């Protein structure tokens, strides 16, 4: 493999979609990939696995817990210590779905909102000045954000965006009445927040004269081979592990290997150069939910996120 000339950071790279994205990108000449993960030992195992497929891969493991705002704030220094000062791509993939909770992060915020949205919001802000011209930001969302697509998940709902970060908010009593309870509703709502964020980010980059840096959303589809079901009950885990893989030929369904490869394409494929504000589901560009394009709501989430990260 030729010497690495471009660098990508991938969060949540040790399993499922993130690992397969790293694996696919490692096969593209010229890329150095930073596995940004909260478990350094798990990161090293993932890197070793990727190197078995791509012996010449240029990989580094750098500690990052996106649920911790302190960890996010110190990440640029750890990145620099690992020899990376310029980035050509940032893949915001790390995510959680909890079924028991709610749970608090060290900052006192609900873990789903903090991990799936707020940590990545701050991470992008902290790395903006390191993004090279033409850099690409990809945020992993989910079709669960759109109730019209009948994913089986509850529709996104919130009273205020700040309430999403507060486990004690009365709105969560209403969430508990939804199928699957508060954890699944928190997840689908966080995936809508991902879209508000990425579309608003694209607009702000353009307004700041940095329109060469693109921001796009990726939907991996209903996907087997991920860790999102690790907290499900035994019956649901069995279905996720053994039944879902049988459905991967259906529209909107996929495997971690296939979806990870398509996610990597958003990083390196010339077909996506200079294009921003896209929603790509597996390998097809499409429109996300009507609500996801609401600029007023996106601006409100942005301002609330700024306040929340400043308070922690």
Residues with catalytic roles: 187
Distance CA 260, CA 268 (A): 13
User: Tokens 């640029």 correspond to what residue?
Assistant: 76
Report DSSP state, residue 88: E
Distance CA 220, CA 5 (A): 27
Distance CA 89, CA 267 (A): 6
Side-chain half-sphere CA neighbours of 108 within 13 A: 8
Sign, Cα dihedral of 282, 216, 95, 148:
negative
Residue 186's nearest CA partner among 113, 84, 108, 134 is 113
What value, to the nearest 5°, has the Cα angle with vertex 41 and ends 228 and 93? 35
Q: What is the CA radius of gyration of the chain?
A: 18
């Amino acid at each position: 493999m030729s010497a690495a000339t471009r660098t990508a950071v991938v969060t949540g790279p040790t399993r499922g979609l993130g690992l397969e994205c790293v694996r696919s990108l490692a096969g593209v000449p010229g890329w150095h990939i930073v596995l940004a993960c909260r478990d350094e030992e798990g990161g090293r195992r993932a890197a070793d696995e990727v190197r078995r497929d791509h012996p010449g891969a240029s990989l580094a493991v750098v500690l990052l817990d996106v649920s911790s705002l302190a960890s996010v704030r110190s990440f640029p220094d750890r990145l620099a210590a690992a020899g990376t000062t310029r980035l050509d791509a940032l893949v915001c993939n790390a995510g959680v779905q909890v079924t028991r909770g709610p749970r608090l992060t060290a900052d006192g915020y609900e873990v789903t909102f903090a991990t799936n949205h707020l940590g990545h919001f701050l991470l992008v802000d902290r790395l903006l000045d390191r993004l090279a011209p033409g850099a690409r930001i990809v945020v992993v969302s989910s079709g669960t954000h759109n109730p019209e697509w009948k994913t089986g998940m509850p529709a996104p709902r919130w009273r205020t965006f700040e309430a999403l970060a507060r486990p004690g908010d009365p709105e969560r009593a209403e969430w508990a009445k939804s199928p699957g309870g508060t954890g699944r509703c928190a997840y689908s709502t966080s995936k809508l927040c991902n879209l508000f964020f990425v579309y608003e980010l694209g607009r702000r980059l353009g307004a700041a004269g940095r329109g060469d840096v693109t921001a796009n959303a990726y939907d991996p589809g209903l996907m087997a081979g991920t860790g999102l079901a690790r907290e499900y009950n035994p019956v649901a885990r069995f279905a996720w592990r053994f039944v879902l893989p049988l459905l991967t030929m259906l529209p909107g369904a996929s495997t971690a290997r296939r979806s990870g490869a398509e996610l990597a394409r958003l990083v390196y494929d010339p077909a996506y150069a200079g294009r921003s504000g896209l929603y790509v589901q597996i390998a097809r560009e499409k429109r996300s939910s009507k609500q996801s394009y609401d600029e007023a709501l996106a601006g409100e989430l942005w301002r609330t996120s700024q306040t929340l990260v400043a308070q922690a």
